[in-house]
Amino acid sequence: MLNIVIFGAPGSGKGTQSDKLIEHYGLFHISTGDVLRDHIRRGTALGATAKQYIDAGRLIPDELMIDILADVLDDNREATAAGVIFDGFPRTIAQAGALENMLADRGTALSTVIGLEVAEEELIERILNRGRLTGRSDDTLETARKRLDVYHNQTSPLRNYYKERGLYHAVQGSGGIDAVAERISRHLDAITADA
Ligand code: AMP
């Protein structure tokens, strides 16, 4: 069982690399951003709340976000049994603690945290490019800057949190998609060979 957190700033390639990983390792992918955007598309009450935070570049409050993740795990018990790739969660220390408890309750634990490391100028460039291609409402220069601030203040402390637990594995996130995927696979193949 392989439970992976794919970690990194907005624009670091978490979604793109998650797609590669599910293909290769057959894991269940949970992108909390996608879950929220799906609620917005379907016009749910949660979607209306989420939209306000997303468009302001702010994080959805922890208690709400933790409940949402627990629901996704409960609704997909069988599909998640072989392992999960968590993309965009956790984003705060409180969320990381909650994830640890949720996995423990389900008799499992995190295998590794893959930290995609990309220079700040490249992040902005990638976010603006994605905004042009997809029309994603939070991929504008102003919101991207705000999201990067939020990342530095609230999310990046998780790097040390996971380093202290021996779970953080940094991967250089710049270069071609396949080259980055190859770096990640090398690490995952090493930890699965050890298991
Ligand atoms: P993402 O698609 O991961 O870039 O997420 C887009 C937006 O959704 C973020 O900027 C937040 O507003 C919200 N969001 C996604 N995941 C989380 C999370 N784990 N905690 C709080 N807010 C989140």
pLDDT surpassing 90 at residue 195: no
Mean pLDDT of 102-116: 96
Task: Provide the pLDDT confidence category of residue 1 given band limits of 50, 70 and 90.
Answer: confident
Enzyme catalytic residues = 14, 91, 130, 136, 147
Mean pLDDT of 74-79: 94
- Provide the token pair at 113: 């945290």
Would you state the pLDDT for residue 178?
96
Q: Which of 19, 30, 32, 153 for a ligand 1 pocket mutation test, highest count of atoms within 8 Å of Cβ?
A: 32
Query: Are 12 and 88 spatial neighbours (Cβ–Cβ below 8 Å)?
Result: no
* 141-187 pLDDT, tens digit each: 999 999 999 999 999 999 999 999 999 999 999 999 999 999 999 99
Vertex 85: Cα angle to 160 and 65 (nearest 5) = 70
| Start-to-end Cα distance in the chain | 9
Mean pLDDT of 135-143: 95
* 11-67 pLDDT, tens digit each: 999 999 999 999 889 899 999 999 999 999 999 999 999 999 999 999 999 999 999
Query: Are 137 and 124 spatial neighbours (Cβ–Cβ below 8 Å)?
Result: no
Nearest-atom index, ligand 1, CA of 89: 19
Mean pLDDT of 104-124: 96
* φ, ψ dihedrals at 118, nearest 5°: -140, 140
Distance CA(195)–CA(185), nearest Å, equals 15
Would you state the pLDDT for residue 23?
85
The response to whether residue 8 sits with its C-beta less than 6 Å from ligand 1 reads no
Q: Which residue's CA lies nearest to atom 5 of ligand 1?
A: 33
